[in-house]
Amino acid sequence: MLILNADQIREWDQYTIQNEPILSIDLMERAATACCEWLLSNGYSNRSFSIFCAKGNNGGDGLAIARLLSNRELDVTVNILEFGHKGTEDFQVNLARLHENPVEIRFISSAEAIPHIPEEEIIIDALLGSGLNRPLEGLTAELVDHLNRSGAEIIAIDIPSGLSADQSAKGNTVIKAAHTLSFQCFKPAFLFAENEEAIGELHVLDIGLKQDFADALPLEYKLSDHEYVKRLFRPRKKFAHKGNFGHALLIAGSFGKMGAAILSAKACIKTGSGLLSVHSPRCGYDLLQSQVPEAMVIADKEEEFNTALEEDLSPFNAIGVGPGIGVSPGTAGMLYKLLQRRQLPMIIDADALNLLAANPKWLDQLPAGSILTPHPKEFDRLFGASPNDFERMKLASQKAKALSLVIVLKGHYTLIAVPSGEKYFNTTGNAGMAKGGSGDALTGIITALMAQGYPSVDAALLGVYLHGKAGDIAAQLYSQESLTASDIIDSLGEAFLSLY
């Protein structure tokens, strides 16, 4: 599945029209047919529909959908937003075709003409498509507000009206759909939390656009999905031994937060690190030895915090730091000295990110290829607040390039921004994973992959995917509500098996 901006989608349509070849009106018919088939196979075959259209090609889709539903003897009313000008050529053709059906057509030229909509009606939003690049205003905005207040279920075609495909519409008037029926590919807008209320459940329908055009496109955004990640995965060779899979070091835990160290360590072992050492304060020694017997434990000289990393780092292939370490001055000093040694790329998470945010000049000390794993608030503390998700994504990409880091910006579609400028969005995971300990598990997973020799970018992509896949498997067993970080770790084996 691709992620394309509005211009690329428009060019893909035109390429298909010219090279299939197919008339644009017939391509529109293909899209409308796909929408109708979805409606009829998803519980809407006995419902009444109010379809709202403007006079562009998105409105043309709506008129074609109205005709096809009417042909199935469903009750359909069409409402056309009227601004006193003719519609596009394909809109006009579909309007003429619709006149041959027993469908009531109303024109909305003023606020007084906006109809009352019964709550049991299904609203089809075919007002404005993905080409929109400015906020709604006037009668269009009034109509959208009215539809949102109606209490009726809304299904958006292509993209909810008022939402831009590739720039933020935060704070603007937009349709709030229960479902969005889009075509052929993801749009950037579908990947950001700020648009969740507008999009509802997303369904990407195949309308047969020519694949060779998409294959040749330079892509700013990429989906890290099963097909992509499977190519990164390296199954084990039969004659391998533990020395082939690296020695990971986790610096984790403090008094009252040893659970974070245990979870991270268990995830690291479950992800296949050949050896694991955990540097923790003395208060965590017995806990780690009993809860994670596969790990070796290096006790700090202090009882409650990590304060001094005196061991030789040369035996280690990857270092993960942050889960549960706290932000004491002694721990801050330890992190600073670790950065000065600059021997290995590191995975930086949790309290280590907070220490970097408090000491921003330390970012320049991070070894190239290191991986930062912030959630949005941690990211804002590190790099400054962003007004919306689009700007936060751009800033993450800029910082990844400038600092030669991989930035894993956690969310439903976790962004992995890499030094080359590519932006990957992960396709696994669910809201049940939004619980304490989940991020600690991710740190252990990525650290284990780095220890096994995966390059930073591949370790981040594969680690985030496996973490989300394990969460999805666990949610199927226990529900999102009951899902815990331990359930994620316990499901890593099945997540790996999905890649064979």
The C-alpha angle 116, 121, 127, rounded to 5 degrees, equals 75
Query: Where in the sequence is the domain holding 307, given as residue range(s)?
Result: 226-497
Residue 387 exposed, middle or buried by CB count within 10 Å (0-12, 13-18, 19+): exposed
Could you count the other beta carbons within 10 Å of the beta carbon of residue 88? 17
Is 336 within the bounds of a domain?
Answer: yes
- Note whether 156 and 196 are same-domain residues: yes
Buried b (16+ CB within 10 A) or exposed e, 401-437: eebebbbbbbbbbbbbbbbeeebbbbbbbeebbbbeb
Q: Is 82 helix (H, G, I), strand (E, B) or coil?
A: coil
Instruction: Please report which helix (H) or strand (E) contains residue 347, including its range.
Output: strand 346-348
Name the phi and psi angles at 84, rounded to 5: 80, 20
Q: Which of 153, 184, 219 is the last residue of a domain?
A: 219
- Give the pLDDT confidence score for residue 84 in this predicted structure: 79
Q: Is residue 447 part of a domain?
A: yes
Q: Which of 181, 200, 219 is the last residue of a domain?
A: 219
What does each C-alpha distance from 75 to 68, 203, 225 come to in angstroms? 11, 24, 40
* CA-based R_g, the chain, Å: 26
Distance CA 31, CA 46 (A): 21
Which CATH number do you get for residue 451? 3.40.1190.20
pLDDT tens per residue across span 110-155 = 999 999 999 999 999 999 998 888 999 999 999 999 999 999 999 9
Nearest partner of 337 among 308, 315, 314, 313, judged by Cα? 308
Q: Does a structural domain hold residue 131?
A: yes
* pLDDT of 233: 98
- Which tens digit of pLDDT belongs to each residue from 374-384? 999 999 999 99
Task: Kindly state whether residue 88 falls inside one of the protein's structural domains.
Answer: yes
pLDDT-flagged residues of the chain (< 70): none
Domain identity same for 175 and 47 = yes
At 343 the pLDDT is 79
Q: Do residue 242 and residue 261 come from a single domain?
A: yes
Alpha helices (runs of H) in 194-300, residue ranges in sequence order: 196-199, 211-215, 226-232, 258-270, 285-291
User: Both 288 and 183 in a single domain?
Assistant: no
Question: Any idea what the CATH number is for the domain that residue 34 is in?
Answer: 3.40.50.10260
What the block records as the tokens of 120 is 């049991």
Regarding whether 276 and 149 lie in a shared domain, the answer is: no
Q: Are 409 and 477 within one domain?
A: yes
Q: What is the DSSP string of 261-275?
A: HHHHHHHHHHTT-SE
Same domain, 185 and 236: no
Same domain, 212 and 230: no
Alpha helices in 292-375 (DSSP H): 329-341, 350-358
Is 1 a member of any domain? Answer: no
CA distance 52 to 106: 10
260, 167: one domain: no
Q: What is the pLDDT of residue 462?
A: 98
Domain end position, chosen among 174, 195, 219: 219
Number of domains in the chain: 2
Taking phi first (over 0 means left), then psi (-120 to 50 degrees means alpha), and beta for anything else, what does residue 256 get? left
User: Are residues 341 and 254 located together in one domain of the fold?
Assistant: yes
In a shared domain, residues 264 and 211: no
Full-model pTM: 0.95
Strand pairing partners for 99? none
278, 415: one domain: yes
